[in-house]
Each structure stands twice: as C-alpha cells, then as structure tokens.
C-alpha cells in the first residue's frame, strides 16, 4: 500500500535577506534539505525540532502554499509538486491549521468555517451552516458562532481555526502548533478530537513543541534539525531513548 | 467542550459604587470644561472678526442676505449639475478604479498588454493637474470632430474628471489590496479557494474596509472638483455664482455656493462613519480581545 503522503528529496531554500550595503553576497538559506518522509493512512506523524528548524515550512510546501526547489510531494502516489496539476483541487483535499490561526477578521466565526464548503465544495448555505455548527460544537465553540475572530480569546481562535480546517472532511490534516494556546484540559479535549478523527480515517502531519502532545498522539516522531530529518521513530524511541547526540541535547533542554 | 456557565448574581460593592460616582463626577466636570472652553474660543473669534476695521464692508460684500436670496435659484440649478456629475463620475470612477486595481494583481498572461496600459494610464493621470486634463479633454476632443462623441461641456467635463479620479481611486484600492496580509491569502488558498475567489471573498472586503477613509476623501474631493467643469462653460453652481456677481462687486453668491457644497459633502463624511459603525468595522477598542477601555 502506498502512503497517503510521501516526500522524496524535498528541498526548499529562501533567498538571503537583501542586506542593504553589504558587499558579501550571502548564500540562500536552505530550510528543507533533501527531506524524505512517509505518512501512511490513518496515521499521525509529529514533527519536532527547534524554532526555525523548518516545521511550518514543511507543512506549507505540502499544502502547496510555496514552491519547492527540488524533489517530489506524492499525494496518493501522484506528484502534486508538478506545476501542471490543479493545485486548488489538491489543497481542497487537505485541511491546514496555521500557527498564527489566520482567521478571516471580516467574517463571523460561522462564515469562516463555512467558506470552503460554500465556495469550493458547492454545498448549499443551510447544509454548510449545519455542518459548521456541528463542527464548532465538537471544538466547544458553538456559542461563539456569530462572534468575530477579534472577539475571541487566543484558545478560542485556535479552536475556530481547527473547525475551519476540519469541516470539509479533508483526507490529510496539517496541524501547526494546534494546542499552543490551550489550557491542559482543552489540550486533552483536542487530543481526543484528533484521536476521533483518526478513527474516522483521517491522516495527520503535526508540528509541535509539546512533547506530551507528541507522546500521546504520534505514531511516528521526526526530529528536524538543519533542514534534515535527523532522527525518526516511535515516540518511545525518539523521545524516550534518542540515538543521536543532537536529539538528546534538544530534548534535555526542553526537559530542564 | 467548555460552554459559559450561568453567571452568579452580583450587586456592586461600596468600592465599585464609590468609583462609579467618581467617574460620573469626572465626566460631568469634563463636559463643563469643554463647554466653557468652547464658549471662550467662539467669543474670541467673534470679537476679532466683528472688531476688524473692515468688518462692515466685508459683511455687506460677502454676507448680504438679500443678494444671497436673489442668487439662490440659479446657484441651486447649477448645483444640480454638480450633483449629477458627482454621482455619475464618482460611480464610474470607483468601479473603473476598483477594476484597474484588481487587474494589476491578476496574473493572466493574455491581460499583460492591458495591465501595462493600466499602469501607464494611472501614472500619467496621477501626475497631471485636473485643470489641464479638463482643458485638453474639453477643447482637444471636440476638435477631432468625432460624430458619436457628445460635445456638451458637462459631458466633457465629467469625462475629464472620471479620467483623473479613476487613476486616484485605482491607487487607493491598490493600497487597500496591499494592506491585506499575505497570510490571509494563504489561509484562503489553503482551503482550496481559487485566486479569484480569495480575492473576492477575503482580500477585497478587507481592502475596502481598510481604505474607506481615503476612499471617502477622494469622493468628497471629486464632489468639489466637479465645480471645475465651469472652466469649460458648463453652468454649475460656481459658474452660476460667478454670473450673479458680475458687475455687482458683491461676492455673497460665492459664499452661498461654498455653503451648499459643504452641505452636500458633510453628510457624506458622517454617513461613511455611520456605515462603518453599523458594519462593526469601527468597533471601539473595548469590544475586541486585546483591546480595552484604556484609562
Ligand atoms: N518567506 C520566507 N522568507 C524567508 N525566510 C523564511 C520564510 N519563511 C520561513 N523562513 C525561514 O525558514 C526557517 C524555518 O521557518 P519555519 O517557520 O518553518 O520554522 P519552524 O520550525 O516552524 O519554527 P517555529 O517552531 O518557531 O514555528 C526560519 O529560519 C525562517 O526565518
Ligand atoms: Mg512554525
């Protein structure tokens, strides 16, 4: 069986910031360097790594929000990095929660959640509203459906963003720090929600700084360092008994 | 997950009552201070103006009620022309400006020549004085003797104003589009929306809301500049006032025209404010997470 998502030799660089008067031409910064990664169906792969190690970038290029320099991104065996492909249709099969939520400030929470259903999946308004209310209920936000995003607390915004990414039933979920703004109780509830979604057959790629979260939800943990997958394995292996020096150093700094 | 619980009954503590009383007293005092300072300023202005040595002559030359009453019908008739030019040129200019701004962001290759033309047009008309455009359109176009082109000075004047203001308004809308953070587009595209869909539903609403103030400014400014069509001979409010002053050395009609222009534009500014509030855009800081009623 092919994995739902496979990355093969993915490379991503960002041009060095144009230093105003500097005569030294800086090298482009390599953020993802020859990444290979497989996410099987119904599985949850968690990315960990220092700030700036490229976790968000990896999720963004999988979501086709940025072009890669080299390599393949295979969704169901099909290379979606191919510019000939209809990227909108590919993106519609995924659901992404952004690290900074990126809610639409001019729309009520409900309309944030129904937008894709109405415009991309062509569902009638009432049907979209019903699905959105149900999704908001699952993240405990039904009572805020008519509020604007800037009237929500940070954790409420985060859950609204989760609802928006889940409501159209995407096959692949890309979650960037989805619990960073939540209290321990809510973290537990979001975890339960993710477990439920996995039971429904969803596949997840998650970036997080919370090792407790990684331990509870991950089938596989990948430690990113210097744009490479430095170490990977089950959460027990990577978090409990890291094999490589850098991984150990990273985890021990987190623990202290 | 968590829903809000029933609130417990509350009656304000003596501390809260005392603070509320203090705030009320403070508000009263602020109101009183504002009133007194306003009265002082108004008195000072009146004393200076009325006490000026030329006041008597100025009053009869600029504020003569009889003269104003006599000139009013002609000026009103002229104003009606200004209003029509304003509404038509404002609508056309806004739509074209918005269209040009969107066009500049489009990536369709077939539209490249149109995009290049649009940019050249905007650069040109932003840099040329309205008055000059009016003269060129008003006198050069009829010289071409195009059969299908109306040659009334009102039409040509409106055309010149549309040409100029479309360029201004396109720049206003472009600034608005650029003010929307790229992460908003990323979020929309991430949901599967096409480029056009995310422009229409996510970028434009925020862009327009971010530029309502400069937009209203430009429309008011257009209303005033509609008076410039008088240089082509169209009898608008300003031209009517000018005609009324000829030979009398009394400038009251100009004051009347100015007052009428103000009376038209002032409600517009207030209407925009009210509209923004109704749509919840100008929501006060206190109703937004992270904002507050800052003392
Ligand atoms: N558009 C961009 N232009 C230039 N550099 C960028 C851009 N986006 C990301 N980078 C750089 O790429 C690197 C990786 O960023 P990324 O956001 O993927 O990190 P991260 O692992 O998600 O970090 P964090 O844990 O803090 O969220 C950073 O050094 C960042 O400065
Ligand atoms: Mg990140």
User: Across-strand partners of A30?
Assistant: A13
Domains held by chain B: number: 2
Among residues A206, A212, A204, the alpha carbon closest in space to that of A239 is found at A212
What's the pLDDT at B111?
A: 87
What's the pLDDT at A165?
A: 95
The DSSP string of B224-262 is HHGGGGGGGT---HHHHHHHHHTTT---HHHHHHHHHHH
The parent domain of residue B25 ranges over 2-50
Q: Does A139 touch chain B (CB under 8 A)?
A: yes
pLDDT band at residue A22 using 50, 70 and 90 as cut-offs? low
Could you tell me the CATH number of the domain that includes residue B74? 1.10.3720.10
pLDDT of A255 higher than 90 = no
Pair B100, B163 in one domain:
yes
pLDDT band at residue A192 using 50, 70 and 90 as cut-offs? confident
Pull the structure tokens for residue B224: 């005033």
Residue B29 forms part of a structural domain: yes
Residue B291 forms part of a structural domain: no
A116 CB neighbours in chain B (<8 A) are: 191-193
Pair B228, B104 in one domain:
yes
Cβ atoms < 10 Å from Cβ of B48: 10
**Helix, strand, coil tally for chain B in percent (to 5):** 80, 0, 20
Average pLDDT taken over every residue of chain A: 90
Pair B9, B119 in one domain:
no
- Reported as a single tens digit per residue, the pLDDT across B132-183 is 999 999 988 888 888 888 888 889 999 999 999 999 999 999 999 999 999 9
User: Across-strand partners of A94?
Assistant: A172
Percent of chain A with pLDDT over 90: 67
Pair B96, B151 in one domain:
yes
pTM for the full model? 0.85
Pair B185, B69 in one domain:
yes
Mutation target for B interface from A57, A89, A119, A154: give the one with most B CBs within 10 A: A119
- Reported as a single tens digit per residue, the pLDDT across B10-60 is 999 999 999 999 999 999 999 999 999 999 999 999 999 888 888 888 888
Pair B39, B73 in one domain:
no
Pair B71, B110 in one domain:
yes
Residue B101 forms part of a structural domain: yes
Residue whose token pair is 């509020």? A147
What's the pLDDT at A18?
A: 67
Pair B120, B93 in one domain:
yes
pLDDT of B2 higher than 80 = no
Residue B294 forms part of a structural domain: no
pLDDT of B228 higher than 70 = yes
Pair B162, B245 in one domain:
yes
Residue pair A15/A175 in contact (Cβ under 8 Å)? The answer is no
Residue A114 beta carbon below 6 angstroms from any ligand 1 atom: no
Pull the structure tokens for residue A112: 């944030």
Residue B256 forms part of a structural domain: yes
Residue B35 forms part of a structural domain: yes
Helix/strand/coil for B21: helix
| Average pLDDT estimate for A129-154 | 93
What's the pLDDT at A233?
A: 94
| Average pLDDT estimate for A87-94 | 95
Pair B79, B156 in one domain:
yes
Pair B105, B35 in one domain:
no
Helix axes B65-105, B212-225, angle to 10 degrees: 130
Shortest Cα distance, chain B CAs vs residue A254, angstroms: 29
Residue B286 forms part of a structural domain: no
The contacts of residue A126 (CB under 8 Å, 6+ apart) are none
Pair B76, B43 in one domain:
no
The enclosing H or E element of A204 equals strand A203-207
CA-to-CA distance for A155 and A161, rounded, in angstroms? Answer: 10
Residues found in chain B: 295
The reply to whether residue A63 touches residue B190, judged by beta carbons under 8 angstroms, is yes
| Average pLDDT estimate for A241-256 | 86
Among residues B128, B78, B99, the alpha carbon closest in space to that of B229 is found at B78
Q: Does B259 touch chain A (CB under 8 A)?
A: no
ipTM above 0.90, yes or no: yes
Average pLDDT taken over every residue of chain B: 88
Residue B290 forms part of a structural domain: no
């Amino acid at each position: 069986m092919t994995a739902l998502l496979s990355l093969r030799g993915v490379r991503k660089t960002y041009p060095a910031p144009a230093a105003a008067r500097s005569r030294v031409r800086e090298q482009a910064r390599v953020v993802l360097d020859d990444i290979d990664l497989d996410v099987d169906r119904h599985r949850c792969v968690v990315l960990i790594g220092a700030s700036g190690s490229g976790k968000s970038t990896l999720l963004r290029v999988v979501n086709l929000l940025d072009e890669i320099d080299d390599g393949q991104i295979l969704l169901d065996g099909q290379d979606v990095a191919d510019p000939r492909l209809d990227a909108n249709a590919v993106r519609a099969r995924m659901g992404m929660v952004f690290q900074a939520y990126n809610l639409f400030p001019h729309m009520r929470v409900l309309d944030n959640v129904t937008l894709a259903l109405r415009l991309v999946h062509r569902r009638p308004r009432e049907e979209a509203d019903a699905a959105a209310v149900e999704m908001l209920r699952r993240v405990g936000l039904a009572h805020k459906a008519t509020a604007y995003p800037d009237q929500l607390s940070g954790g409420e915004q985060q859950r609204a963003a989760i609802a928006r990414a889940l409501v159209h039933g995407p096959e692949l979920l890309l979650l960037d720090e989805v619990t960073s703004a939540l209290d321990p109780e809510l973290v537990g509830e979001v975890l339960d929600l993710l477990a439920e979604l996995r039971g429904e057959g969803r596949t997840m790629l998650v970036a997080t700084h919370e090792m407790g979260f990684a331990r509870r939800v991950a089938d596989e943990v990948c430690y990113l360092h210097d744009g490479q997958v430095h170490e990977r394995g089950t959460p027990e292996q990577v978090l409990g008994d890291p094999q490589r020096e850098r991984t150990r150093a990273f985890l021990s700094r987190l623990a202290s | 997950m968590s829903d809000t619980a029933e609130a417990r009954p509350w009656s304000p503590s003596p501390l809260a009552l005392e603070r509320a009383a203090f705030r009320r007293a403070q508000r009263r005092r602020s109101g009183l201070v504002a009133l007194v300072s306003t009265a002082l300023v108004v008195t000072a202005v009146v004393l200076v103006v009325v006490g000026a040595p030329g006041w008597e002559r100025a009053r009869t030359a600029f504020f003569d009620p009889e003269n104003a009453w006599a000139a009013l019908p002609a000026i009103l008739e002229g104003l009606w022309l200004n209003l029509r030019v304003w509404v038509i040129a404002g609508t056309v200019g806004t739509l074209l400006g918005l269209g040009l701004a969107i066009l500049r962001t489009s990536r369709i290759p077939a539209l490249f020549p149109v995009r290049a033309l649009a940019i050249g047009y905007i650069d040109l008309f932003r840099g040329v004085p309205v008055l000059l455009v009016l003269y060129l359109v008003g006198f050069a176009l009829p010289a071409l003797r195009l059969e299908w082109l109306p040659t009334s000075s009102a039409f040509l004047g409106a055309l010149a104003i549309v040409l100029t203001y479309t360029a201004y308004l396109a720049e206003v809308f472009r600034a608005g589009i650029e003010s929307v953070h790229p992460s908003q587009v990323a979020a929309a595209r991430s949901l599967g929306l096409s480029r056009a869909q995310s422009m229409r539903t996510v970028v434009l609403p925020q862009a327009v809301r971010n530029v309502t103030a400069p937009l209203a400014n430009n429309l008011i400014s257009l209303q005033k500049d509609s008076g410039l069509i008088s240089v082509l001979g169209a009898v608008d409010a300003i031209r009517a006032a000018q005609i009324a002053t000829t030979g009398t050395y009394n400038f009251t009609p100009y004051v009347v025209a100015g007052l009428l222009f103000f009376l038209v534009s002032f409600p517009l500014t207030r209407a925009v404010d009210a509209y923004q509030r109704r749509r919840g855009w100008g929501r006060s800081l206190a109703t937004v997470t992270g904002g507050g009623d800052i003392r």
